Amino acid sequence: MNARDDRTPQGATVQPIAITSIIPSAAPSTDAQPLRAALLGNPNCGKTALFNLLTGARQKVANYAGVTVERKEGWLHTPAGRRVRVLDLPGTYSLHAHSEDERITRDIVTGEHAREAPPELLVCVTDATHLRLNLRLVLEARALGLPMVVVLNMSDMARRQGIVVDKARLSAALGVPVLESVGVRQDGAQELLAWLDSDAAHQLQAPALDGRSQAQAGHNTRAGLLALHQEVTAILQAAVQVPPVDNQRDDRIDAVVLHPVWGTLLLLATLFLMFQAVFSWAEPLMDGIEGSVGFVGEWVGSVMPEGVLRSLLVEGVIAGTGAVLVFLPQILILFFFILVLEDSGYLPRAAFLLDRIMGTVGLSGRSFIPLLSSFACAVPGIMATRSIPSWRDRLLTIMIAPLMTCSARLPVYALLIAAFIPEQSVGGIFNLQGLVLFALYIGGIASAMAVAWVAKLARTDKSRTPLMLELPAYRWPSLRSLVLGLYERALIFLRRVGGIILTVSIVLWFLASYPSAPDGVTEAAIRYSFAGQIGGWLEVVLAPIGFNWQIAIALVPGMAAREVAVGALGTVYALSAAGDDAMAQQLGPLIASSWSLATALSLLVWFVFAPQCISTLAMVKRETNGWRYPLIMTAYLFGLAYAASFVTYRVAVALGWG
């Protein structure tokens, strides 16, 4: 749906549907009871930008109990020293809830939420350039009878567009104070801060309600909606002067951007740039992180005496931390592009352009960017699903994100393709090894689309979630919003995933290190560890798909990250070369002489599907607020991996490649 009449003006900040951050909360003083205020407003009205301006670093975020909707709260200290606890409610267009976010907002402001007391003050944040849309929610909120104040955000943009708002008349019509703000400017909340220190804010009173407002609040009927629209129109005529809107510039750009041919080509070029940047720009930073972690590990190993503690710190804690940190540059570069595309107004248009194509398999156009992000790493891809408002579409996107071929698979693919696929041309143009790698990428994409299509057939409600998009005006992104957004995402990754990865890495270190090998053995020590024993048990299960005990052992530490399997195989084969590249150079000829082509092909197919990445499962657990969906994901992906590898191995054996 192209909602062109509800565009955000040039220069305004578009916030994602849900942005998670973990920012240390400043401990407020306890000299007086703080005021509990809640920010209520439409999506894209600049409410979250105003919240960030008011609270700064004095904010914290957590999910509401039992749901994935995020609870964002911060502390405000006014110039006169008044303390205000500010709650940023999920954006909503109406208090007649349809989504999970809207239900949370409705329950809090109506006092029906089990664990959240209703606010003492409702701050209704509106987009001053789109008051017709925003005033509907203001009138619904006024009918609740809570003390409230209306904030005309983006008031500078409204003036630039020639919109004149008579605040006195608007205040009289609504029966509540009306203030101005500019959420993206450092001094943009001065009127609100001054009002909070005034006598009126210390003697809060509920707005006077008439019978019409009470009727509108109690009944979501056609007559009630009509009365609501009529009142909005009357208020606008009395208090707001809006000049004719000139959309010629945006229309000319949209003629290209939304064109089925040129728009698609522009989108592909944009995505190609983003895709290349994630790999090429991040590589030096990733190498620097790996080198730094390696240096720290070597230094700790040199100053500590040999023993269990040194092994734990070097091979468990430091190595586990490095495995997490190495992906941070890719995540930040990826989200830099996403934030720029979103703040510029382009991202909703990309989703609009692709919605019809992706709708054939039950996905939304909003799923495209998260799935594309998963080619770098499924973790930022899953994080990016927060921009999908429909929980059903978001969950489906999360569940198929690991099927995209992430960069962690490349070391395994490179090892097996170099060892088993001859370096020869096909048709005098294409390289056979390159074609095999391309086929693996296509296989992951096709599998993801097939899973989405099956999920669409399986669900009882086969109706598509309509794509309700607001196409904002094109504008330059806000540098402040970009920096804050990247800062938030870095904290999300490090704090929410890092702890789990670190714990798992330590567990895997223990499994691969104990019990130690008996004296005088010639096999790799890992063969006698708990991981080796598990590998021996797994060999019985994995033998039908052509895997030997060495592969089974490598899959155990490979659960930390897929690329670890290369090093694990090297350890199993008792190689002593340092570094993955040197190890792979020796390991390739060795496995080529001891494995069959059927086994190699089976293992390649296994890595297309198998969810061998603890960080992905940890992020799914965080995003879905429980272990149910990570377990479902693990089961179905391992099932697909086993079935696909079984078919591949048996067909290859039948062709004489076994």
153 is in an annotated binding site: yes
In angstroms, the CA 403 to CA 454 distance is 15
CA distances from 618 to 38, 322, 365, 393, 621 (A): 31, 17, 26, 20, 5
Which token pair is 516?
A: 């130690």
56 is in an annotated binding site: yes
Burial of 378-392, coded b for 16+ CB within 10 Å and e otherwise, reads: bbbbbbbbbbbbbbe
Reply yes or no: is the peptide bond before residue 589 cis, omega within 30 of 0. no
397 is in an annotated binding site: no
Listed residue (96, 157, 99) closest to 468, CA to CA:
99
In angstroms, the CA 24 to CA 180 distance is 29
5 is in an annotated binding site: no
To which residue do tokens 């930008």 refer? 49
Beta-strand relationship, 35-41 and 121-127? parallel
188 is in an annotated binding site: no
In angstroms, the CA 294 to CA 314 distance is 9
100 is in an annotated binding site: no
Q: Cβ contacts of residue 156 below 8 Å, gap of 6+?
A: 11, 182, 185
406 is in an annotated binding site: no
Listed residue (467, 261, 469) closest to 355, CA to CA:
467
User: Where does 56-189 have alpha helices with state H?
Assistant: 100-109, 131-142, 155-160, 167-174
70 is in an annotated binding site: yes
Which token pair is 148?
A: 């409230």
Listed residue (494, 472, 599, 455) closest to 154, CA to CA:
472
In angstroms, the CA 337 to CA 335 distance is 5
434 is in an annotated binding site: no
47 is in an annotated binding site: yes
Q: Cβ contacts of residue 73 below 8 Å, gap of 6+?
A: 59, 60, 61, 85, 86, 87, 88
42 is in an annotated binding site: yes
67 is in an annotated binding site: yes
156 is in an annotated binding site: yes
Listed residue (338, 365, 363) closest to 263, CA to CA:
365
89 is in an annotated binding site: yes
To which residue do tokens 């790996």 refer? 290
Which token pair is 547?
A: 């895997």
CA angle 246, 249, 253 (to 5 degrees): 140
Give residue 219's region: left, alpha or beta (phi > 0; psi -120 to 50): beta
User: Where does 519-627 have alpha helices with state H?
Assistant: 530-542, 549-555, 564-572, 580-594, 597-609, 614-624
Helices vs. strands in the chain: H and E counts, helices first: 30, 13
Residues forming beta bridges with residue 88, ordered by sequence position: 39, 72
To which residue do tokens 């069959």 refer? 596
To which residue do tokens 């920010």 refer? 39
52 is in an annotated binding site: yes
154 is in an annotated binding site: yes
- Under DSSP, the state recorded for 150 is E
Listed residue (394, 377, 391, 406) closest to 489, CA to CA:
377
Alpha carbon dihedral 260, 263, 268, 272, in 10-degree steps, equals: 180
55 is in an annotated binding site: yes
- What is the H or E stretch that residue 656 is in? none
88 is in an annotated binding site: yes
Binding residues, as ranges, are: 41-48, 52, 55-56, 66-70, 88-91, 153-156
Binding residues for GTP, as ranges, are: 41-48, 66-70, 88-91, 153-156
Binding residues for Mg(2+), as ranges, are: 52, 55-56
